[in-house]
Amino acid sequence: MPRQPRIWYPGAEYHITTRGNRKTPLFYDSQDRYIYLKYLTETRTQYPFDLYAYCLMTNHIHLQLKSHDTHIQQIMQKLNYRYATYFNRKYDYVGHLFQGRYFSNLISSPAYQLDVSKYIHLNPVKADLVTQPSNYEWSSYLTYTQFDRKIPVNPYPVLAQFSYPQNIEYQKFVENDPAISITGNNLTVEILIPT
């Protein structure tokens, strides 16, 4: 059966996930994560897009981004190819690093945009890696709550949906709501946070 073409248009916003082949790790150390973020930044320079959120887990990656004039496929091919080449050389591996093609869900409403951002930032909590999203070094959460801009993330389209002080209101939205459900393109994920 042929693959369904991805919906794309200039300005389309996506929640993108990509995972390691057979759920194997994509990152073994901090250097791997720094390199991925470096390639993400460099890809953005070549194919401009707005990065709204990211989270680098051990065996998968979440990105929330808005394309400009480049199809999302070109962006992800460039990024995944560069990182896979680096990873295979470093660890003397051969073959596929990523499990199939990446998943992309079109973000079609402000409410879904908020839910995706929250889901991405709560991923390390859900995986029991940290108790608070602010304790996870490899996500964009601190850009939202403390305006820490190590990686060029644009939090303002999401933060604009909150009253002043927006960073505090966003933090409450993420950390104080006990449940979130993300549904899209045959994917439903629920996060339940203990209260």
How does pLDDT run across 111-124, given as a tens digit for each residue?
Answer: 999 999 999 999 99
pLDDT band at residue 178 under the 50/70/90 scheme: low
pLDDT band at residue 177 under the 50/70/90 scheme: low
Question: In angstroms, what CA-CA distances link 190 with 47, 99, 107, 181?
Answer: 32, 22, 17, 4
pLDDT band at residue 147 under the 50/70/90 scheme: confident
- Considering the chain, what percentage of its residues have pLDDT values greater than 90? 80
> How far apart (Å, rounded) are the C-alpha atoms in residues 160 and 127?
28
Inter-residue long-range contacts of 187-190, CB under 8 Å, 24+ positions, other chains counted:
187/103, 187/105, 189/119
**What pLDDT shows up at residue 1?**
55
- DSSP class per residue in the chain: -PPPPPP--TT-EEEEEEEBGGG--S-SSHHHHHHHHHHHHHHHHHS-EEEEEEEE-SSEEEEEEEESSS-HHHHHHHHHHHHHHHHHHHHT--S-SBSSSPEEEE--SHHHHHHHHHHHHHHHHHTTS-SSGGG-TTBSHHHHHH---SS----HHHHTTSPSSHHHHHHHHHHH--EEEEEETTEEEEEE---
What would the two tokens of residue 49 be? 């897009």
> How far apart (Å, rounded) are the C-alpha atoms in residues 148 and 141?
9
Closest to 4 measured CA to CA, from 105, 107, 108: 105
Q: Does the pLDDT value for residue 21 go beyond 70?
A: yes
- pTM for the model stands at 0.88
pLDDT band at residue 191 under the 50/70/90 scheme: very low
Task: For residue range 45-99, list pLDDT tens digits in order.
Answer: 999 999 999 999 999 999 999 999 999 999 999 999 999 999 999 999 998 999 9
**What pLDDT shows up at residue 57?**
98
Mean pLDDT of 165-193: 65
Q: Which domains does the chain have, with CATH numbers?
A: 13-192 (3.30.70.1290)
Q: Which pairing describes strands 103-106 and 60-67: parallel, antiparallel, or unpaired? A: unpaired
- Name the residue with higher pLDDT: 181 or 90: 90
* Sign, Cα dihedral of 68, 39, 59, 77: positive
Task: For residue range 121-146, list pLDDT tens digits in order.
Answer: 999 999 999 999 999 999 999 999 99
**What pLDDT shows up at residue 188?**
42
